[in-house]
Structure 1
Amino acid sequence: MNTKSAFLKMVLFTLLSGTSFAQQTHWRFDFGAEKGLKGYVHVLPETSFESNGQYGFDFGSVVQAVKYSGKKAFPGSGIKSKKPFYFSAAVPEGNYRVTLTMGDANDATASTVKAESRRLMLAEVKTKQGEFVTKTFIVNIKNRNIAAGQMVALKPRELTKLDWDDKLTLEFDGHTVLKTMELTKVDDQITVFLAGNSTVVNQDDEPWASWGQMIPRFFKPGVAIANHAESGLTLGSFIGSRRLSKILSIMKPGDYLFIEFGHNDQKEKGAHDGAYQSYTERLKTFVAETRKKGGIPVIVTSTSRRSFDQEGKIQNTLGDFPDAARKVAAAENVALIDLNAMTTSLFNAMGEVQSKKAFVHYPANRYPGQDKALADNTHFNPFGAYEIARCVVLGIQQQKLGLVKYLINDLPTFDPAQPDDPMSWRWPESPKSSLIKPDGN
């Protein structure tokens, strides 16, 4: 199949999202060459989603069977690959509890698991030779459909994003040996909806990343992260593309809406635009509409850009927008996560040179087809996105939100003024990369 045909097939697949034949909400898979567990769908290494249409290895993944011996609790075999591999299952919209059994009787393993558009779910889960572990996390699956036949107005670049298709896709990186997988739709999770721009969205391709795709790693089951952000959006275009309507159509009482805008709003120059005019009014609309649904709004100030003054300190490039967000939060009695202040502290602590390691700054030839250096002072790489997600988690703790009890048990303390060492941080890169900047700046 040529590239154009594959693209058209994907677009059609996306447009039919929510109306596909696949409505199964519970899957149990057992992997490998030999059938193992009773009551599980046996998945052979050659089972592909493209040929099956309901489940299978995806995007050309090549895996091989790993035989186990002497493990009565894990009969049969598992699978592994020399490269990152993908597995997909067709499911309808909703929150899914994903339970994985991983490990190898013959070797030690180290697994990083991402979901959909590179959402970090598990980071470097290690097992010793002969050890098996079971890990559980929650993945949100969304589609474009809204009530009364309306749909979210996606940008062309979103039509091929894994976040918007009608299947659940997991990416396995590092030295993963996968034995079993169980997917179950669950309706009892608190859903944290994210509304924002390119600093929040799940970025599909290396080396781009945002905090919204890193934050799932910090939550236990009980919370689902539903990221509806998209690059280039303002509060107004988020509403105009019916993304707020989509969120409100599926929001339950007790769910949250985190709202971070400003980078693109500051470029709107109409007579009624500005931090204390349309921006303030629209923020209040987000707050009011969320509360009507019984939801809990949280205002997040915009991440700082990497812009240093002559004294080597971060300077404000966002004008009055962070201040306006703070004022709305105070006036409306809304929890505020002051990400602008925290990222200013973070980048100051890193310094002008070291802070490049948090942004998309790479020399030429780092990625395929890259004949020029990449130098972007707004958009983050995976390390920067991870650090900012840690800032958001710190904000959740400082605001004493009800979400605190769902944070992972082994959560380390964090201070933006003392960032992690980028040289000791590990991120197995996904196969796809792009030199195209996300919309917005």
Structure 2
Amino acid sequence: MSLLRRTLLALLPALLLAGCASSPPKEGVRITLVGDSTQTERQGYGTGFCANLTAMADCINRAKGGASTKTYRRDGLWDTAQWPKPNWMLIQFGHNDVQSAAHGDRETDLKTEYPANLRRYVSEARAAGIKPILVTPIARRYFQPDGKIIDDLPGHVAAMKMVAADMDVPLIDLHQISQDYFEQLGETEAHKLGATKAGPNGTIVPDKTHFNLKGSYVLGRMVAEALAHEVPALMGYVKPVAAQQP
């Protein structure tokens, strides 16, 4: 047996596996999450969202903590998100695109760069045969004395809605959905859905952006239900009853 033939035979299992991974499920769909930490498995709603999809949906989480529309591409994450190729892609950015001293390497200009980056993601996804869905950035739990939440991302939400309308992209307005829900719960109960972090002088304070496992399941269910509503073709891939937190 020639060296070339032996090499090809040795590589065959890996090649077959790669071929299977690159093809969408034969009888189902593959849905990929693209975004920042609020979408991840560890700090976001990703775990709960995937748990609320049926076995016919292959759910892949490619979200990355700290990512903005600029850094997600710059760091090579966008290329990774397209493999294995999904049928649908939920794209959510905004928190780290905000211009601030802390986000100097991540920030984007709200009027020009942020919407342009979103448009490019949508165009490239479609060119690759992927159907994009835009998701407005989830609301942070910064409550005012009157029980209302301080909306710190109105410009980014409006910009994403404009891109969705202009490009005829399905949109999940998670920002409004989550803000309404948190205000309905009230500050004390809303913080029970979140993680905690170190505060001043050794104190532990609520993390008003990210989620614990309970929060992931609650918000993940909301995103799944909104997905079924906004994209009827995917309704059959959302569990009819909310998944239970383990």
- Paired position in structure 2 for 1:399: 230
Out of 165, 186, 205, the position equivalent to 1:351 is 186
TM-superposed CA distance for 1:246, in Å, is: 2.2
- Paired position in structure 1 for 2:96: 264
Unaligned runs of 5+ in 2: 1-10
Residues 1:226 and 2:60 aligned together: yes
TM-superposed CA distance for 1:234, in Å, is: 0.4
Out of 8, 25, 31, the position equivalent to 1:192 is 31
In structure 2, relative to structure 1, the CA distance for the partners of 1:293 and 1:313 (3 Å cut) is same
Out of 279, 290, 302, the position equivalent to 2:137 is 302
RMSD of equivalent CA atoms: 3.2
TM-score (norm 2): 0.82
SS in 2 for 1:326: helix
Unaligned runs of 5+ in 1: 1-20, 27-90, 96-141, 143-184, 204-208, 365-370, 413-424, 429-441
- Paired position in structure 1 for 2:147: 312
Q: Is the 8 A contact 2:138 2:175 kept in 1?
A: yes
In structure 2, relative to structure 1, the CA distance for the partners of 1:202 and 1:300 (3 Å cut) is same
- Paired position in structure 1 for 2:119: 284
- Paired position in structure 2 for 1:210: 44
TM-superposed CA distance for 1:361, in Å, is: 3.7
- Paired position in structure 2 for 1:338: 173
TM-superposed CA distance for 1:274, in Å, is: 2.2
Q: Is the 8 A contact 2:164 2:170 kept in 1?
A: yes
TM-score (norm 1): 0.47
In structure 2, what is the Cα distance between the partners aligned to 1:426 and 1:299?
A: 26
Residues 1:386 and 2:205 aligned together: no
SS in 1 for 2:186: helix
Instruction: Please list the CA deviations of residues 27-48 of structure 1 after superposition, one character each: whole Å capped at 9, or x if unmatched.
Output: xxxxxxxxxxxxxxxxxxxxxx
Matches within 5 A, 1:8-407: 23=13, 187-188=25-26, 189-203=28-42, 209-251=43-85, 255-267=87-99, 273-361=108-196, 372-407=203-238
Higher Cα Rg: structure 1 or 2?
1
In structure 2, what is the Cα distance between the partners aligned to 1:238 and 1:338?
A: 21
Q: Which segments of structure 1 move beyond 4 Å, counting only runs of 4 or more? A: 21-26, 91-95, 425-428
TM-superposed CA distance for 1:235, in Å, is: 0.9
Q: Is the 8 A contact 2:50 2:220 kept in 1?
A: no
TM-superposed CA distance for 1:22, in Å, is: 11
Number of aligned residues: 230
Percent of paired sites with the same residue: 24
In structure 1, what is the Cα distance between the partners aligned to 2:233 and 2:45?
A: 20
TM-superposed CA distance for 1:212, in Å, is: 1.2
TM-superposed CA distance for 1:244, in Å, is: 1.2
Instruction: Please list the CA deviations of residues 400-422 of structure 1 after superposition, one character each: whole Å capped at 9, or x if unmatched.
Output: 342111222x425xxxxxxxxxx
- Paired position in structure 1 for 2:241: 411
